[in-house]
Structure 1
Amino acid sequence: MKNLYTVAFYNLENLFDTKNDPKTLDDDFTPGTEMDWNEKRYNKKLKKLGQIISQIGYAETSHPPVLLGVAEVENETVLHDLINSKFLKSKNYGYAHFDSPDERGIDTALLYRKDYFEVLHKEAITLLVTNQEGIRDFTRDILYVKGKLENEIVHILANHWPSRREGVEATNHKRVAAAMKNREIISKITSENPQAKIIVMGDFNDDPISESAKTLSGTELYNPMELLLTKYSGSLNYQQSWNLFDQIVISNNFLQQHENFFQFEEAKIFNPKELKEYRGKFKGNPYRTYAGPHYLGGLSDHFPVFTIFSIKR
């Protein structure tokens, strides 16, 4: 007997509540500003996100993701509201989350279905990076969760690496540093258990062929996303060119065939028509919530990515 499970990652594009947090730069996402983020728009996004999340991997496994890493969530409030939205409230999701030092107040989190997954340990691991002047860039922490799926132990690292905003080359060292920090965490895990099953997921702000992603994978990890980025598809589109910043990377032992009860099966981009621009020059691109200050009403400027795993009994 073989049970199939979906493990996914989704950048939710600025999932903010409507309240102003004086400690972060969230002012744009409040009512009465140029963007006019309000309760109606917030609730619409929550409902539609819940509907999409419930469908990720459903065709392959017949149920929603057992694990879903998310990026660009403001706080526990939005996570609570998301898992209690119309299409998710019956799925019994919990979440692992810590507030990060990111200046805008956006964090990573891991949603998990409590009927299938038990959290054994969770922690936020600080990523210390600096800009070219040597000043600290307050970016997102790495979320580490150790848990049990059926009776299989799995280690998950959820990431949102520093952006390319100041230029790809000028910021490359930050993402390489993020990759090295993940490798440091992985080394600690495998020093305690060389056979540990590890999943690294996130918005890397780099493609699978980039230096940072190659640094992360090394020889110990397999990146199935390398095969998914083409001239015609990715998880986000910038200036009419596809990127695959959203990635799920796994330890090589998920690929072993002999006496391996917890196996990797496949990786995919989830991009149904409901998530795409349906007309104009951006047709086929992710249908985003905002373009600059202009409200479009879509869900995210990223498509989710997902992997399927099997557990044999």
Structure 2
Amino acid sequence: ITPAGPAIIGVSEVENRTVLEDLVKDEQIKGYNYQIVHHNSPDRRGIDVAMLYNPRMFRVLNVTHHTLVIPNYESFRTRDQTCVSGLLFGEPVSVIVNHWPSRTGGQRQSNYLREAAASLSKHIADSVLAVNPNQKIIIMGDLNDDPFDSSCAEILGAKKNEKDVEKGGWFNPWWQVLDDGIGTLAYKGQWNLFDQIIVNYNLTGDDRSTFKYFKCKVFNDIPGMKTLEGDRKGYPLRTYASGVYLNGFSDHYPTQIFLVRELKTK
């Protein structure tokens, strides 16, 4: 996030590129000239992940797409993971945009699918680090798991406390946010925080001569995004509920992180 708007925006459940083209032309944001990274995934529902970026802040150098393959499950189809590498205000940064498999059929029964997705994200990141051990990497998206679930905490190994992150590891700031009772989606009075932005070791620490993680926020305070009454009061305002059109944005709140770097003066 910058004073001139987000430098990078990751999105999930995108139907097609046309939706994104319409979005970046919206009167409220068209002045930012957001560019699109999009790829048609093999997902059975026809939904994809994508990334928008402000070309004045981020310059794309390389894009790769990675398909999640589940052994002995040949018919399985889900969203590809998209890795975008480039220069954020001149610094090398890679962003892996995700939408991990859902909990359809039950959390426990489907857990192995999200663990496999976490393994793929880690493999992509490790491949980037093999080329440049100092690369700053961000994993973002709807992970369909909470920060404490095995996919995030064990397979990816993302830590709750920044001071516990070792070289090659990951910091998940959303763990504490969820502990504080704040989430991005809710069901029967229980909050979850599936929409996460996780940073690698190279984005942690106090040396701010280069970009470092600063803070995070659930984007839940914008008028029109929140249900104001009824048994879903405080929940994200959905587009539909029980077949009724509610004119809402989403059943998930967006999340954002802020990176900070010292301003170099002459």
Q: Closer, same or farther in 2 for the Cα pair 1:292/1:100, shift >3 Å? A: farther
Structural mapping, 1:1-313, within 5 Å: 6=1, 61-129=2-70, 134-214=73-153, 215-218=155-158, 220-230=169-179, 232-258=181-207, 260-272=209-221, 273-312=223-262, 313=264
Q: In the aligned structure 2, how far is the partner of 1:271 from the partner of 1:259? A: 29
What secondary structure does 2:19 align onto? helix
Q: Closer, same or farther in 2 for the Cα pair 1:290/1:151, shift >3 Å? A: same
**Structure 2: gaps of 5 or more residues:** 159-165
Task: State how many pairs are aligned.
Answer: 252
What secondary structure does 1:212 align onto? helix
Aligned to 1:48: none
Amino acid at match of 2:182: S
Deviations along 1:215-256, one digit per CA (max 9) or x if unpaired, are: 213551111111111473200001211000000000112112
Deviations along 1:29-83, one digit per CA (max 9) or x if unpaired, are: xxxxxxxxxxxxxxxxxxxxxxxxxxxxxxxx43311101000111110000000
**Contact persistence 1:275–1:298 (CA under 8 A):** yes
1:135 CA displacement: 4.3
**Contact persistence 1:230–1:242 (CA under 8 A):** no
Deviations along 1:86-126, one digit per CA (max 9) or x if unpaired, are: 11111110011100001111100001011111110112111
**Contact persistence 1:217–1:223 (CA under 8 A):** no
TM-score with structure 1 setting the length: 0.77
Sequence identity (%):
40
Q: Higher relative CO (CA 8 A, sep ≥ 6), structure 1 or 2?
A: 1
TM-score with structure 2 setting the length: 0.91
**Contact persistence 1:129–1:177 (CA under 8 A):** yes
Q: Closer, same or farther in 2 for the Cα pair 1:283/1:134, shift >3 Å? A: same
Amino acid at match of 1:284: G
Amino acid at match of 2:246: L
**Structure 1: gaps of 5 or more residues:** 1-5, 7-60
Amino acid at match of 2:5: P
Amino acid at match of 2:142: D
RMSD, matched Cα? 1.5
Q: In the aligned structure 2, how far is the partner of 1:65 from the partner of 1:296? A: 27
Amino acid at match of 1:118: R
1:274 CA displacement: 2.5
4+ long deviations beyond 4 Å: none
**Contact persistence 1:143–1:159 (CA under 8 A):** yes
What secondary structure does 1:172 align onto? helix
Amino acid at match of 2:23: L
Amino acid at match of 1:163: S
Deviations along 1:122-158, one digit per CA (max 9) or x if unpaired, are: 121111136xx83432100001100111110100000
Q: In the aligned structure 1, how far is the partner of 2:208 from the partner of 2:12? A: 35
Amino acid at match of 2:247: G
Amino acid at match of 2:27: K
1:259 CA displacement: 6.3
Q: In the aligned structure 1, how far is the partner of 2:127 from the partner of 2:64? A: 14
